[in-house]
Chains A and B, each alone.
Chain A
Amino acid sequence: MYIEDRQDVINACRFCFMCRHLDPVGNVTFRESDTPRGRALIIDRMRMDRECMKEPDFIDALYRSALSAANRFHCVSHYDETGLVLAARREIAGAGLAPEKAKALAKELEEAGFTVKGKGNVLYYGEFPALYPGCKILSGKDPGKALEVLGFEAASKKVFARFKKTVADSACKTLVVAEPSSYDFLRDKLPGVKVLHSAEYLLEQGAKKARARKAVYLESDFLKNYCGNPSAPRELLKALGYTLVPFGTNCEESYAVGEGAVVYDALNPELCQKLCSRVYGLAVDCKKTLFITASPRVRDALKKYNPAFNVVTLEEAIDAMQS
């Protein structure tokens, strides 16, 4: 049983309130079940009484989580509450109890196939091939991360096996990944292949300062809180001439509108809209201020609920400066 393996996290989080101020969903729904403590209590109840695993209200709460690791990062002992929720989701999905919407999403994601085109020693996996001349281009949907966070472990492994074979067939020893969730998923999973985030690769290629421009860099939940907070995205933007201005009231909270849950908008559109509204509300001027995100998914969500919101991805921001 997965949740029993996380007993230390259950014990630490179920009665602890110390990171609740950083839960992005709790901060917009104000519900106790949308806090790390609330979810740990639910999972503890499931652990004690397996029948509770079938409780739709409990399942719903666990699938409402945005899986932001801001809380884990804040905790002085870094207890992994998101890992605990993922463990519970694996059990729920494994028992066939995942919400219908999650099941439908999983079915779509299971179909993912991958193709490689072009020539080169470096393989690029993202939405902006024009920035990567001389690279082979890997196309396809999510490599298995989305299925993993939904709790569909076996399906995730199958999709990843297809992805891994595609990478192996390409004979490339370097893989450049743009989407932070995919980068997080792949970086330790491909022995013999160097996995770089697109910002790291593009910084290595050299960036020339074009012109001065102010922008807000919306920190990626995955890069900042899961992947050791690499400096490459900020260094790259600064090298190009962007002056990064602070956003919100603090540097701890995740403004990544559900990035940690990968397919959050597809699963919980109403909540994703609320997360986006919080970001819009904190912006001084949504139209004038340029927002830059590492994640195309975050961009899509922020654009979806306010088309006038001036947000681009890192790669689009680079392209805008270079063209």
Chain B
Amino acid sequence: MTPKNYLYEMVRSELTWAVGDDNVQTNKADQLGHSIDYYWVPELWHDRGEKPTEPDFVVHPANTKEVSEILKIANTHKIPVTPWGGGSGSQGGALPIYGGIVLDMKRMNKVLNIDKVSMTATVEVGINTQHLEWEMEKAGCSTMHFPASIACATLGGFIAHRGTGVLSTKYGKMEDMIMSLEVVTPTGEIINTLPVPRHASGPSLTELYLGSEGTLGVVTKATLKIHPIPESRKFHAFLFKTMHDAMTAGSKIMTSRLRPCVIRLYDETETAKLVKRVLGIDRKGAYLVFGFDGPGEMVDLEMAQACAICEDGALEDLGTEAGQNWWDNRYKFFYPPYMFHMPQAFGTLDTVATFSNIEKVYWAMKNAVNENFPQATFIGHFSHWYEWGCMLYARFIIDTPPQDPNEAVALYNRIWDTAIRAAIKEGGVINEHHGVGLKLGRMMKELYGPAFTVLESVKKALDPNNIMNPGKMGFPGKGA
């Protein structure tokens, strides 16, 4: 949209009427801030002096009614709306690739109710998740949602892409944490999903919006489960000779129906690189750490059983201290300079599969990357474990990608395509918790097959003018 023309000024005046002058930004500082999220491509462009697409308007609604007003204005003028939480998504889901309105939700940050009887909390989803956790802790409870991006992201961002946290193995992913949602539909109606997640009154509307990445409407409020602070939480670490040995132990812990709050297994390369650098553990092999929490006696009992499983095949018992050290430094991996950074090219090939398939997926991706892209290093760890399988947090890193940004992006996309196709072939699902966004939209039809037409039909029915985050999740872009 060209500033200072009739349509621009009309939209701007309507938006300021809806939310107030102070809450509609058209300045260059905020436009720059909203043109780059945590996706590698806009970071690269910025680094190389290119300018990613900026929004025309950054709008900060204070309440659901204002969100509704904004979507009605956008529908009238057929302007794209891109919801923005903390902006820390890695898939480009919050990028305003067609300009238009960025709907920055951070002003909607209130805790509305804490129900200690049912152990639920109702909150506005623009709340930063660290702030949310602090509020819950002050009330004597916890969300048990501890992602690496806890300080960066909003609850809405996690809902948008089915995010997860370190303790997901016991407390679940976002879809397990959410009870119900308030949503503004693309045409501006305000709806609520059913108040409990377990029912037989038709398909779950809550599930429809979980992971919809702002393409089907704007989630404004959520009721989520909260938990008592556990009496005890303990960790233990082992070193295994190979990743396969460690995977055997980890899957046995899960299939024996022990209930760890976390298991994390680093492959030999990541153990040698990152575990050494961040935790100072200098060993050859695969590092496995797990933890239990809850009443003290139960924790000790389950911990003893899990340790017995590991002692069978482990190279070395690293003990509780090495486990606690990992927990204490669990976020350190993601701070500079420990996190990968420019000029490196890097991507997280987050994949989930059953225990029967997960190692096949790992090797298929690793071989595909190593054989086709010798300049890339492939590393991985397994986090977020379930009774049936786990998630592979695989990453590729290229220390010196091409200087030309177009060449660098082409190489980056080729690695993604190659690795993802290898994973899908072995029963992997891309992905587990980072979402689809802009990065993986092109793979959605391949991943879903004919089932994707169902999602496309839902999108078309709910958002006839295609204003909501166009071009994401594999849905059509603006003007398509």
Contact = CB atoms under 8 A, between A and B. Distances in A.
Interface string A251-294: 00000000000000000000000000000000000000000000
Interface stretch (A18-26, A92-100, A205-213): A18-26
Contacts of B339: 16
A36 to B, nearest CB: 11
B36 A15 contact: yes
B135 A15 contact: no
A35 B49 contact: no
Contacts of A37: 33
Contacts of A58: 28-29
A21 B130 contact: yes
B336 A20 contact: no
A108 interface: no
A49 B48 CA distance: 12
A250 B134 contact: yes
A249 interface: yes
B152 A21 contact: yes
Given A32-B34, A77-B336, A249-B138, A60 B131 contact: no
Contacts of A249: 131, 134-135, 137-138
B104 A30 contact: yes
B119 interface: no
A156 interface: no
Contacts of A219: none
B342 A33 contact: no
A16 B38 CA distance: 8
A31 B336 contact: no
Contacts of B32: 33, 38, 41-42, 45
A57 B25 CA distance: 11
A30 B24 CA distance: 12
B56 interface: no
A60 B332 CA distance: 33
Given A31-B33, A41-B36, A76-B332, A21 B131 contact: yes
A21 B335 contact: no
B86 A16 contact: no
Contacts of A38: 29-30, 32-33
Given A15-B38, A58-B29, A20 B341 contact: no
A49 B49 CA distance: 9
Contacts of B58: 31-32
A190 B318 CA distance: 51
A17 interface: yes
A187 B149 CA distance: 37
A32 B49 contact: no
21 contacts: A11-B336, A11-B342, A15-B36, A17-B151, A17-B152, A18-B334, A21-B128, A30-B60, A31-B25, A31-B29, A33-B32, A41-B46, A42-B32, A48-B49, A57-B29, A74-B151, A75-B336, A76-B332, A77-B337, A79-B336, A249-B137
Contacts of A32: 30, 33-34, 58, 87, 104
Contacts of B267: none
Given A17-B151, A18-B152, A61 B334 contact: no
B26 to A, nearest CB: 9
Interface residues of B, number: 44
Interface of A: 11-22, 30-33, 35, 37-38, 41-42, 44-45, 48-49, 55, 57-58, 60-61, 74-77, 79, 249-250
Nearest to A250: B134
B373 interface: no
Given A38-B33, A41-B46, A249-B138, A17 B87 contact: yes
Contacts of B104: 30-32
A15 B87 CA distance: 10
A5 B109 CA distance: 37
B452 interface: no
Interface string B131-175: 100110110000000000101110000000000000000000000
B136 to A, nearest CB: 9
A55 B332 CA distance: 35
A74 B28 CA distance: 28
B351 interface: no
A235 B334 CA distance: 36
A212 to B, nearest CB: 25
Contacts of A250: 134
Nearest to A33: B29
For the complex of A and B, the 5 pairs showing the least CB-CB separation, nearest first, are A32-B33, A17-B152, A249-B134, A33-B29, A12-B336
A48 B49 CA distance: 7
Contact of B335 (A31, A33, A41, A75): A75
A30 B58 CA distance: 11
A64 to B, nearest CB: 9
A35 B34 CA distance: 12
Contacts of B336: 11-13, 16, 75, 77, 79
Contacts of B472: none
B331 interface: yes
Contact of A19 (B38, B87, B107, B151): B151
Contacts of A31: 25, 29-30, 33, 58, 60, 104
B366 interface: no
B331 A18 contact: yes
A114 B38 CA distance: 50
B69 interface: no
B106 to A, nearest CB: 4
Contacts of A60: 27, 29
Contacts of A57: 27-30
